[in-house]
Amino acid sequence: MDGKEWNTWGEGVSFGLQNGMAVIPYALLKHYRKLNLTGSEAMLLIHLLSFRQVEGMEFPSLEELQTVTGRSIAAIAGELQKLMKEGFISIDEDIDELRDIHFERYNFSGLYGKLGAFLAGAAQEPATDSSKPAGSVPNQRAAAHHTGAPAPDGGHGRAFTAAAGKDAEENRSLFTIFEKEFGRPLSPMECETISGWVDQDNYPEELILLALKESVFAGKIHFRYIDRILLEWARNRVKNAQDVKAYTQKFRGGGR
């Protein structure tokens, strides 16, 4: 490398360093697969950490995450939902009282807790058999996961994985439908709200879509209105499309 090349290389390094550096837990880079994270999910966590440390952005939008990852908003929203559901991240809400501004930020205490628990558990495990090749699967259940063979519990592990995949696909379709009706990408907070309706409130997807339809007809397309509809239906034991029709007719005078 001649002097000119050294100068060019040095200028590039200098420019990169001036743009900031993010501190990423090495345990995340080394062990993310053992925490059942995919490469794209681990990279999403790294981007969230980098946005906070370098850009000072504690709650980047889905569009900003799409710019740095090059992935679809639906895919990013689905991964954020999984990370929140499994406790790697959460969303804190706060108020800047001086400026009277409401804001959200990602909380990474779950990620750090999981990494700490994993490292503590690994430190207590007996030394591995040196005769085993590096990267060998330590037990039958893990082997079943890697090869697709039935797990020792009679296949329940694979059934759970299939069910989780189905749930994720259903949630992605809900996100897509809501984005079409709202005419814009959903925020992470809105994605978490939809996930909460499905995972915590156990509302059927059909009922959520009917509530969305009601809000469109009423000209009140916002999440608080949809949530009020779902709560009202839950209190009146409205569980499906037929119940919604009967309930609507009753209160609009159509069933009298």
pLDDT in tens, 222-236: 899 999 999 999 988
pLDDT in tens, 139-158: 443 333 333 444 444 443 43
Per-residue pLDDT, averaged over 99-109, amounts to 82
Domain architecture of the chain: domains with CATH: 22-125 (1.10.10.10), 156-252 (1.10.10.630)
In this predicted structure, what is the pLDDT of residue 4?
61
Number of Cβ within a 10 Å radius of residue 186: 21
